[in-house]
Amino acid sequence: MAAAIEVSNLVYTYSDDMPFHQDVSFSIEDGEKVALVGANGAGKSTLLYQLNGILQGKGAVRIQGLELNQRNLNHIRALVGLVFEIPDDQLFSPTVYEDVAFGPRYQNLPRHVVDQRVQQALTQVHMEKYARQAPQHLSQGEKKRVAIATVLSMQPSILLLDEPTNGLDRRSRRSLITLLQDLPQTMLIATHDLEMATMITRRTLLMDGGKIVMDGNTTDILTNEDLLLRHGL
Amino acid sequence: MIEASQDRNPHQHTVGETDARIKVSLAVFAILVTSLIPVGQWWIYLCLWVITTVLGIFLRIDILKLIKRSLLVLPFCISTIPLIFRSPVDFWIPIGNWMPGINLAGLYQALSIIIKSFISIQIAAFLIMTTSFGEIMAALRAFGIPQVLVSVMTMMWRYLEVILGEARRMMQARAARSACLAMDDREVGGNLFFRATVTGGMAGSLFIRSLERSERVFQAMLARGYDGELREDRMGEIPSISRSIGIIGLSLLAGILFLAYWLG
Amino acid sequence: MTTSMLPMHIPDGFLSLVVSIVLWVISIAVIVIALNRVQSQMNERTVPLMGVMAAAIFSGQMLNFPVSGGTSGHLLGAAIATILLGPWAAIVTITAVVATQAIVFQDGGLIALGANLFNMAVVGVAVSYAVYNLVKKLIKTEKASVLVSGFIAAWTSIFIASLACALELALSGTIGANIAVPSMGGIHAVIGIGESLITVGALVFILSTRKDLLLGEEKTTATGNRGILVGGSIITLALAILSPLASSNPDGMEWVAEQKGFLEAARDSFYNIIPDYVFPGIQSPTVATIAAGIIGSLIVFGLAYGVASLRQAKQQTMEK
């Protein structure tokens, strides 16, 4: 049974102005929820972006056994949903409905199937009534949930989330945490919110300077003040 | 289905809910007719103005907003004033020590221009006040405007508020930093050159950040399967009520134009 | 208030139909070409890049700085858009901005939109492009060449666009060229300085943060862009020469009348091809009466049909 995500010796170099390398290997099983933790600039986003093909690094990435390359890109993007840090960047359509329908539409699904997917996705994030709304008028928390819906409508088996609780007030944060706990997908969550990581994930990858310095139990790592301090948190 | 338009009472089809294609066509045709009416057809102008006012009432247009928009023509209206005073002079008006000579034809022309431009602005205002930007874009697409331009404008509309907000915050931050030392005779905020360059810096920063945002939006689109092909949302058939309103409007306007030339 | 507040958006009613139509045709042609060029240059990036940047330019026009006595300096942005995005992309983005201003804010008329697009999206961009590239060749130092060329290009784009605006108004008979050209030109010569300063400020910022966007491989060498280079130069020269000629005419109105006479003669000769075409000034009174009768009947019929179909349509929706 292929792992959900399998990364071997992933190396990414920025342009010559910023010589920054990553050398990363890990593997995540189906259904696992893993936190990706590290100081700013440790390389969390860069890693996420390589897992759905936005950035191309050297090394091997396998999603559900499929190798990540130009040929498989579309297929992989249907399997892996990336939820960006800034929801406004991801909600680029005139209405919530159209944003959530975007993915299924570009998968060339028939109209009634698209509609079903949108219904389901919006229901999963508890935003059914907002279909006709323009995204610019939603609150941060609502935007984050719709952003997740835009990815869920493609029915991915893996979710990558970049700082999901960033900028949320307490209530929105709590409801988002509950949502993430309930969703069945495999998850890799890049975050600064250590408390959220403890509540949702059981495994944590600690990054520093582009490398994974620790891979283990979430509670163990995140309660180890020494360890965290050493790596910039 | 998420489409919930069926629970609206069909009896309550207001004029404002006419199909966008009809509204846009009528608005443009109305402005066209207005511009084609010869100079000096005062009764026709009155007729047109009455019709637009009645329409405005029907559409429940906010008068204050309408007036604010109409003021935009003022600078240009002022430019018609020289027409009034051109030669040959028909009669003089004593105003205090001054005796300006009025050319009647010029006066009529200036007034006609001003009246027509006010009517035109009202019609255009009605259109946007009863139709959403998205609907107008859909109508334009139906009329043959290239899909890519419509998509660009739709995307622009989506991010307009966001980026306008950024611009506003930048200006507020600048205002907060330029403490006003009114006691000084020195010009507040630095000299003109400085102020302009600072504003330019803000513009540059806005543009760069927008460029970077556009890249992120692009990546978000790609991540959801975007392949550059623009999917078109076809508007359905024009509903019968709208079609009828279109025919009535068209006939009315053609009638007015016809009348204007018949009487002229 | 979200409008650009530059006195260059001509409202409806000020331009003659002929002028409007001609400028619509030219603008549409140029914009269609620009859309194709942009798509072939940017492929899938077209919509997000153009869309977001159009929003940026629109918002950039809101940034202002106080001048004096309650007035403020604003940006049109044709120059900075051209320098940053290239001429074709600049045409597309400014088109989006100007069209939206007309449709949503009534800043500029709907029929006059063709002329406004011509002045700001076509002339504004073409002139910026031509001037920027020509001046840039003259200056050796990298940074200085960008800033100086940007300054001059920005001012020239505003000034020349205003001359186009003035000539259009004069050709329409709304205002004599002897008044329009000096006043529009004069006002915008001053406003243009604000545009230049803001443009330079923006260029300074961009040079210090992302100079890769401004320097490096010249986009001008692409053969497609040469057309704009040439076109922009021609427009600049043509308007710069035509305008003082038009305005120095002893009786500006006479010059306009001559133009109008020419235009009307052209129009009449067109209608002579179709002798029974209904238009005022038709020679035979009998034909005129018959034609009028037919048209009148058609209009009345149209009205009656419309009302009848409305009744029927309403009934049908009620039955549903």
**DSSP string of A173-202, one letter each residue:** HHHHHHHHHH--SEEEEEES-HHHHHHH-S
Q: Which residues, including other chains, have CB under 8 Å from residue C24's CB and lie 6 or more apart?
A: C113, C114, C115
Q: Is there a contact between B157 and B128 (Cβ–Cβ < 8 Å)?
A: no
Task: Please tell me if residue B211 touches chain A, with a CB cutoff of 8 Å.
Answer: no
For residue A105, give the nearest of B41, C287, B231, B120 by alpha carbon.
B231
**Do residues C50 and C96 touch, judged by C-beta distance below 8 A?**
yes
Phi-psi label, residue A53: left if phi above 0, alpha if psi -120 to 50, beta otherwise: left
Concatenating the DSSP letter of every residue in B195-239 gives HHHHHHHHHHHHHHHHHHHHHHHHHHHHHTT--SPPPP----PPP
Instruction: Report pLDDT for C260.
Output: 57
Q: Residue B9 carries which DSSP code?
A: -
Residues in chain B with CB shorter than 8 Å from the CB of A76 are: none
Q: Are strands A33-38 and A58-63 parallel, antiparallel or unpaired?
A: unpaired
The pLDDT averaged over each successive group of 10 residues in chain A (233 residues) is 78 66 84 90 86 84 87 89 94 95 93 94 93 91 94 94 91 92 93 91 89 86 82 78
Which residue in chain A is spatially nearest to B218 when comparing CA positions?
A89
Q: Do A154 and B213 touch (CB under 8 A)?
A: no
Residues of chain B in contact with residue A118, where contact means CB-CB under 8 angstroms, are: 2
Choose the closest CB to B251 out of C57, C65, C299.
C299
Residue C216 pLDDT: 54
Q: Name the burial class of residue C199, with classes exposed (0-12), middle (13-18) and buried (19+) by CB atoms within 10 angstroms of its CB.
A: buried
CATH number of C17-266: 1.10.1760.20
| CB within 8 Å: B202 and C51 | no
Enumerate the residues of chain C whose CB falls inside 8 A of the CB of residue B27: 110
Q: Which chains touch B (3 or more CB pairs under 8 A)?
A: A, C
pLDDT the model gives residue C299: 80
Q: Minimal Cα–Cα distance from C159 to chain B, Å?
A: 18
pLDDT the model gives residue C257: 53
CB contact under 8 A, B2 and A102: no
Question: In the block, which residue shows the tokens 């009205």?
Answer: C303
Contact B163 C306 (CB under 8 A): no
User: Do C175 and B27 count as a contact with CB atoms less than 8 A apart?
Assistant: no
**What pLDDT is attached to residue C250?**
45
**C16: nearest CA partner in chain B:** B35
> In a mutagenesis test of the A interface, which of B153, B224, B229 is the best target, namely the one with the most A β-carbons within 10 Å?
B224
pLDDT at A219: 85
Question: Token pair of A54, please?
Answer: 């936005």
* Residue C139: Cβ within 10 Å count: 14
Distance between CA A35 and CA A47 in Å, rounded?
Answer: 13
As a whole number of angstroms, the distance between CA A20 and CA B146 comes to 44
| A52 neighbourhood in chain B, CB within 8 Å | 223
Tell me which of A80, A93, A106 to substitute to probe the interface with B (most B C-beta atoms closer than 10 Å).
Answer: A106
Joined together, the tokens standing for residue C106 give 């009534």
CA distance B2 to chain A (A): 7
For residues C17 and C172, give the distance between their C-alpha atoms in angstroms, rounded to a whole number.
8
The amino acid occupying position C173 is: G
By C-alpha distance, the chain B residue nearest C84 is B207
Q: Which of C55, C67, C206 sits opposite B159 (nearest CB)?
A: C55
Residue in B with minimal Cα distance to A138: B162
B213/C contact by beta carbon, under 8 A = yes
* Residue C128 neighbours by CB under 8 Å, 6+ apart: C78, C79, C82, C83, C87, C90, C153, C154, C156, C157, C232
What's the pLDDT at C256? 52
Residue C224 has pLDDT above 50, yes or no: yes
Considering only alpha carbons, which residue of chain A is nearest residue B232?
Answer: A105
Q: State the nearest Cα–Cα gap between A221 and chain B, in angstroms.
A: 32
Instruction: State the DSSP code for C123.
Output: I
| Residues of B with Cβ-Cβ distance to C65 under 8 angstroms | 192, 195-196, 198-199
Which residues does chain B have within 8 Å of residue C257's beta carbon, measured at their own beta carbons? none
Alpha helices by DSSP H, listed for chain C, are 17-42, 46-60, 78-85, 87-105, 113-117, 124-138, 142-171, 177-210, 223-248, 252-273, 285-319
What is the token pair recorded at C53?
């940047």
Residue pair B15/B59 in contact (Cβ under 8 Å)? The answer is yes
CA distance C221 to chain B (A): 23
Strand-pairing partners, residue A80, are A158
At residue C236, the pLDDT reads: 81
To the nearest whole percent, how much of chain A has pLDDT over 70? 95
* Mode of pairing for the β-strands spanning A5-11 and A58-63: antiparallel
Q: Do B214 and C48 touch (CB under 8 A)?
A: yes
A103 vs B219, B225, B231: nearest CB: B225
Neighbouring C-beta atoms of residue C34, cutoff 10 Å: 24
Q: Which residue of A lies nearest to B160 if distances are taken between CA atoms?
A: A136
Domain ranges for chain C: 17-266, 284-320
* Half-sphere exposure of residue B86: CA atoms within 13 angstroms, side-chain side: 21
Question: Cβ contact (<8 Å) for A102 and B223?
Answer: no
Residue A224 backbone zone (phi > 0: left; psi -120 to 50: alpha; other: beta): beta
Q: Measuring CA to CA, which residue among C82, C93, C97 is closest to residue C53? A: C93
Indicate the class that CATH gives domain A5-86+156-230.
Answer: alpha beta
What integer pLDDT is reported at residue B11 of this predicted model? 43
pLDDT at A185: 93
Residue B164 at interface with chain A, using a CB cutoff of 8 Å? no
Residue A164 CA: distances (Å) to CA of A36, A89, A171, A188, B68: 12, 14, 14, 11, 43
CA-based nearest distance B97→chain C, Å:
25
Q: Do the Cβ atoms of C2 and B201 come within 8 Å?
A: no
Residue C149 confidence (pLDDT) above 50: yes
CA of C232 to nearest chain B CA: how many angstroms apart?
23
- Give residue C210's identity as a one-letter amino acid code: R
What's the mean pLDDT in C16-45?
A: 94
From B89-98, B222-231, C20-29, C270-279, the region with the lowest mean pLDDT: C270-279
Contact A4, A186 (CB under 8 A): yes
Chain B residues in contact with C17 (beta carbon < 8 A): 32, 35-36
Find chain A residues with C-beta within 8 A of B220's C-beta: 84, 89-90, 92
Cα Rg of chain B, angstroms: 25
Percent of chain C with pLDDT over 70: 78
Lowest mean pLDDT, pick from B153-157, B259-263, C107-111, C139-143? B259-263
- C3 or C193, greater pLDDT: C193
Contacts of B119 in chain C (CB under 8 A): 13
Percent above pLDDT 90 for chain C: 42
Contacts of residue B155 in chain A, CB cutoff 8 Å? 92
**Inter-chain residue contact B154 with A136, CB threshold 8 Å:** no
Residues of chain B with pLDDT below 70 are 1-16, 178-190, 264
B224 touches chain A (CB under 8 A): yes
Let me know: does C143 contact C187? Beta carbons within 8 Å.
no
pLDDT at B105: 83
Nearest CB among B158, B216, B227 relative to A106 is that of B227
Q: Which residues of A touch B2 (CB under 8 A)?
A: 97, 115, 118-119, 122, 128, 131-132
Q: Tell me the pLDDT tens digit for each residue of C289-317.
A: 677 777 777 788 788 878 888 777 777 77
For residue C275, whether the previous peptide bond is cis, meaning omega lies within 30 degrees of 0, is no
CA distance linking residue A78 with residue B99, whole number of Å: 80
Burial A159-171 (b: 16+ CB within 10 A, else e): bbbbbbbeebeee
User: Is the minimum CB–CB distance between A77 and chain B shorter than 8 Å?
Assistant: yes
Q: Mean pLDDT over residues C212-240, rounded?
A: 71
Amino acid at B22: I
Question: How far is Cα of residue C109 from the mean position of the Cα atoms in its chain?
Answer: 11
CA B72 to chain centre: 10
What is the number of residues in chain C?
Answer: 320
CB contact under 8 A, B223 and A52: yes
Give the pLDDT confidence score for residue A212 in this predicted structure.
85
Interface membership of A119 toward B (CB under 8 Å): yes
Q: How far is C238 from chain B (nearest CA, A)?
A: 24
A118: closest chain B residue by CA: B2
Bridging pattern class, strands A158-162 and A186-191: parallel
How close, in Å, is residue B217 to chain A by CA atoms? 5
Q: Is the pLDDT of residue C8 over 50?
A: yes
CA distance B12 to chain C (A): 10
DSSP characters over A65-99: TEE-STTTHHHHHHHEEEE-SSHHHH--SSSHHHH
